[in-house]
Structure 1
Amino acid sequence: MLTFRRLICLLLTLGLLTISAVAEMPNPTLDPNANPYDETHPELLEADQLYCTSAILIEQSTGEVIFEKNADLTMYPASTTKIMTVLLGILNSNPDDKVTVSYNGSAAAMRAIDSEATVISLQEGEELTMQDLLFGTLIRSGNDGAVAIAEAVAGNESTFVALMNQTAHDLGMNSTHFMNPHGLHDDNHYTTARDLATLARYAMQNDTFRTIAKTTEYKMAATNKQRSRTLTTRHRIMLPQYNKTDNRYYYAPMTGIKSGSTSLAGYCYVGSASLNGVDLISVVMYSSQYGVWTDTKKLMAYGFSQYQHVTISELYNLNPISIYTSAYEIDDPNQGQLTLLCQPQDATQAALAELSTTKKRIDYLSENLRDLVTVSYTRDFAAPVSAGEIMGTMTYVSDDGTPITFNLVASRSVARRSNMPLTYEEIVAMTQGQTGIPIVPETVIPVVVILLIPTIALFIIFRVHRRRKRREDFSDGIPRS
């Protein structure tokens, strides 16, 4: 009887262990009714072609949402929490600051909380730099490193967590609440995909964070407790060959940032990628072990498919400015009409004039560019005009408020009509001595004659009319005065 009871207990124990093991390895599957995903047409991505429960994709510079799936659903962030931890470490310390690890920040303390917790093997009393802590925590997801950063910045975990929550509030992450600096599960430690995208976008504006995020291998210096050690990321999506035969999850444009997983959070990844001047941030939450990478690749490929590279000059050329010149030759093929070309004033302006934006934005700019620019002309429109001659300037103000100036130049030459009298503007300029044209009789006499002809004509008409009037008055018997 005792043996039978022991057998029952053993079976129950094994059952519980099996259930626990399954719980630690969530494996979401695709919707069986989803359309097959076509890698050759990433622009056709649909939400049910992702393994994850929640996701979002944004453009980094503007925060524009490109794709989302249950982005406001409350989720557990797991180790993506460390994005906030590392960022606050960067903002509130110096890379060379010396940090002494307490017991709470040691690997032993972390393993006592969770035997499977990822660590960078810190020991109590170990002394190392803040830079090593920051790299180790983000690259290898060291839970011990996260606590060490928290204590170094704020003195203790609780004060640091308060700083985390205040920063989240300041960033508008209104659906986020932190309970620790590492992301080990707590029911009151939660966020959303949208909030994590907001955090990642803010973090990637920091040069140091961007450098750490894109680093796949880092060598920590030797300490008073350990030899130097090299840490390598486990992000399959950032490694050309995670193993010798399998690189199906690698995606070359990736530039970071952080993965995370727990039994209740599933597999999560906050990613960043750059291609052809476009910077994207994706968030995938509660996906499968490998689906987290394919989901991220699908999101990024979709995002890049929505963008085109274009210059302001190319948009301008879709509907260029045309002016009508005066005093042009009678046989001018375009009857004096002159199209103006748009040219950046220098290399700096040319670089600023390059845009990578959505097709929708390009359509808007091409249709409304005339209303979005300021045009100033630097000369009159009288012929002659030489091809390439600057006729004026055009200024476009970018989304970040930077003015971009272009020269408007003549696309062709327009000859002046022979024997054409000077324009009013030319006469004024001559009299003010601003054109450099010498005032000599050969120039002045024709002008004077032209101006006197109407006056002489009026005088003759007046005289003829007056004589006729006198004759009529005399014939009526009215004496002449």
Structure 2
Amino acid sequence: MRKRVRDICAFILFIFLVALCDPCKTKALTVNNKVLIKTISNSLNVDARSAIALDSKSQVVLYEKNAYELVPMASTTKIMTTLVALKYGDLEKQIEISSKSAGIRGSTVGYKKEEKIKLKELLFGLMLRSGNDAAIAIAEGISGSVEEFAKLMNEYASEIGVINTHFQSPHGLDSDEHYTTAYDLAVVTAKAQENKLFNEIVSAKDIDGKAYGFTRSYHNINKILWEVPEADGVKTGYTGKAGKCLVSSAKVQGSNVIVVVLNCTPRWKETKKIYDYVGKNYEFKKMFSKGDNAGEVSLDKGTLTLQCAEDIIIPTKHGVEYTVKVLKPEKINHTINKGDKVGTLCILADDQKIYSNYLEAANTLKIKKFPKFFFFGR
């Protein structure tokens, strides 16, 4: 109890000091006009063309190597294919396998031409067996063609802030106009993990077709589910240009960490190395709880109290100084209702911004607007 009181007092004191400070400054990297958070420096050497470890919830980068470089992505493409299918598709829809789907090269489930498969089953075939035939069927079943489905993929990528990625197909076979970055793939995966069914699919090791009402059973080819404790997905990939790729997810100290390795021949070994590094070098701390007081905004019409909108758990590193800054609005000229987004809380590591999120109003503040009167003289 005393520790809690001490922490709250320290936070209130800091809020007072923050009021005198300039807005958050950051040494963040900019790619195509988008501000990205750079990783805290580290000495880990990973045998991959590009790699990243990202805390899914806070979006803090825990490790990166060439994470913003444009590279091929192979079948890790199918993460976005699944995400778009879950957004726009009808899971119970029966989709007929076309000749194009049945004849696609590369990894396949083995669906036959004119066979009818529900979209939900196709998603399991897509993610567990990495079926290119499933990818084509999903695209045709939702959009009518691969080309139209790729447009949906690109539109949705832009919608969620993924700007250095371009999709030309739902399967990821080599193409000069089909590329991504390790960072973008991690962000797409974090978004996908907000969907319960996505998590159910990618975490499944084996699916009994009869139990699910499917046409066949499915075994997951993603070995990371067996090799990393508390791993729960996500997707493998391989092509000649992309090399061996892996997007994975696992719990570290109770927090979900996404690791991406691209063009990485020893992908299982290097992924485990990154998870081991994160577990040994970071401590995931709850900085604030949902509803914690984050300061006040004093106005002529009253006082608006700001509070944390959610629990804030941040991966912290020994020897790094962490500070908090709160950005509050200088003026409010309209009514604010309880729960409205007002202000921003930033967390900095050695003066480098690693996290920011909105604050919310803890109370309602009504601002009355009076009509303007115009007087006309003779």
Specify which of 285, 288, 301 is matched with residue 262 of structure 2. Answer: 285
Q: Is the 8 A contact 2:207 2:218 kept in 1?
A: yes
Structure (1/2) with the larger helix percentage: 1
Pairwise CA RMSD: 3.2
Tell me which residue corresponds to 2:96: 100
Which amino acid is 2:279 matched to?
A: F
1:306 positional shift: 3.7
- Which residue is 2:283 aligned to? 308
Q: Residues 138 and 105 from structure 1, CA distance in 2 versus in 1: closer, same or farther, beyond 3 angstroms?
A: same
TM-score by length of 2: 0.65
The amino acid that maps onto 1:96 is E
Aligned length in residues:
276
CA contact (8 A) 1:278 1:304 kept: no
- 2:316 match: 358
Query: Residue 58 of structure 1 is aligned with which of 44, 54, 59?
Result: 54
- Does the 8 Å CA contact 2:60/2:315 hold for their aligned counterparts? no
1:173 to 162, 182, 194: 162
How much does 1:354 deviate?
A: 8.7
* Aligned twin of 2:10: none
- Deviation of 1:307 after TM superposition, in Å, equals 3.2
Shift of 1:46: 3.1
Structure-2 change in CA distance of 1:313 and 1:56 (3 Å): closer
The 5 Å alignment of 1:218-297 reads 218-220=207-209, 228-239=215-226, 250-288=227-265, 291-297=266-272
Paired residue for 2:141?
152
Instruction: Assess, with a 3 A threshold, how the Cα gap between structure 1 residues 84 and 311 changes in structure 2: closer, same or farther.
Output: closer
Distance apart, 1:353 and its partner CA: 6.8
Compare 352-361 and 96-105 and name the one that shifted more.
352-361
> What does residue 298 of structure 1 align with?
273
Cα distance in 1, alignment partners of residues 146 and 170 from structure 2: 7
For the pair shown, which has the larger CA radius of gyration, 1 or 2? Answer: 1
Give the CA deviation at 1:266: 0.5
| Partners of 1:222 and 1:229 within 8 A in 2 | no
Instruction: Name the counterpart of 1:46.
Output: 43
Q: Is the 8 A contact 1:74 1:190 kept in 2?
A: yes
Q: Which amino acid aligns with 1:276?
A: Q
CA distance in structure 1 between the aligned counterparts of 2:236 and 2:359, rounded to whole angstroms: 35
SS of the residue corresponding to residue 113 of structure 2 reads: coil
**Residues 263 and 131 of structure 1: is their aligned pair in 2 closer, same or farther, counting only changes over 3 Å?**
same
Q: What are the equivalent positions in structure 2 for 1:67-466 lying under 5 Å apart?
A: 67-106=63-102, 109-110=103-104, 114=105, 117-220=106-209, 228-239=215-226, 250-288=227-265, 291-310=266-285, 355=313, 357-359=315-317, 364=322, 401=359
**Separation in structure 2 between the aligned mates of residue 153 and residue 360 of structure 1, nearest angstrom:** 49
Secondary structure of the residue aligned to 1:190 is: coil
Cα distance in 2 between the residues matched to 1:72 and 1:302: 21
- The one-letter amino acid paired with 2:316 is T
Between structures 1 and 2, the one with greater strand share: 2
Q: Tell me: CA distance 1:221–1:165, structure 2 relative to 1, closer, same or farther (3 Å).
A: farther
Amino acid aligned to 2:260: V
Any idea what the Cα deviations from partners look like across 1:66-121, whole Å, max 9, x if unmatched?
A: 11101122211000011111111111123222211111121xx11xxx3xx11111
Structure 1 consecutive aligned stretches of length 4 or more whose deviation exceeds 4 Å: 309-314, 352-356, 360-363, 397-404
Which AA in structure 2 matches 1:294? K
Measure, in 2, the Cα distance between the counterparts of 1:146 and 1:130.
10
1-structure distance, mates of 2:49, 2:288 = 43
Higher mean C-alpha deviation, range 136-145 or range 172-181: 172-181
For the 8 Å contact 1:54–1:286, the answer to whether it is kept is: yes
Q: How far off its partner does 1:311 sit?
A: 5.5
The answer to whether the Cα contact below 8 Å between 1:100 and 1:126 also exists between their aligned partners in 2 is: yes
Name the % identity: 32
Partners of 1:55 and 1:97 in 2: CA distance = 37
- TM-score, normalised via structure 1 length: 0.52
Q: Which SS does the other structure have where 1:125 is aligned?
A: coil
| Structure 1 unmatched runs, 5+ | 1-42, 240-249, 315-351, 373-396, 405-481
1:446 matched to which residue of 2? none
Counterparts in 2 of 1:292 and 1:228: CA distance versus 1, 3 Å: same
- Asked if the contact 1:66–1:303 (Cα under 8 Å) also holds between the matched residues in 2, the reply is yes
Higher relative contact order (CA 8 A, sep 6+): 2
Change over 3 Å in CA distance of 1:52–1:200 after alignment to 2: same
What do residues 448-480 of structure 1 show as CA deviations (whole Å, max 9, x unaligned)?
A: xxxxxxxxxxxxxxxxxxxxxxxxxxxxxxxxx
Does the Cα contact within 8 Å between 2:287 and 2:314 map onto a contact in 1?
Answer: no
How far does the alpha carbon of each residue in 1:384-415 deviate from its partner, in whole angstroms, 9 at most, with x for none? xxxxxxxxxxxxx99675899xxxxxxxxxxx
Cα displacement (A) at 1:360:
6.8
Give 3-state SS (helix, strand or coil) of 1:82's partner: helix
8 A Cα contact 1:54 1:284, kept in partner? yes
In 1, the alpha carbon distance for the partners of 2:288 and 2:170 equals 49
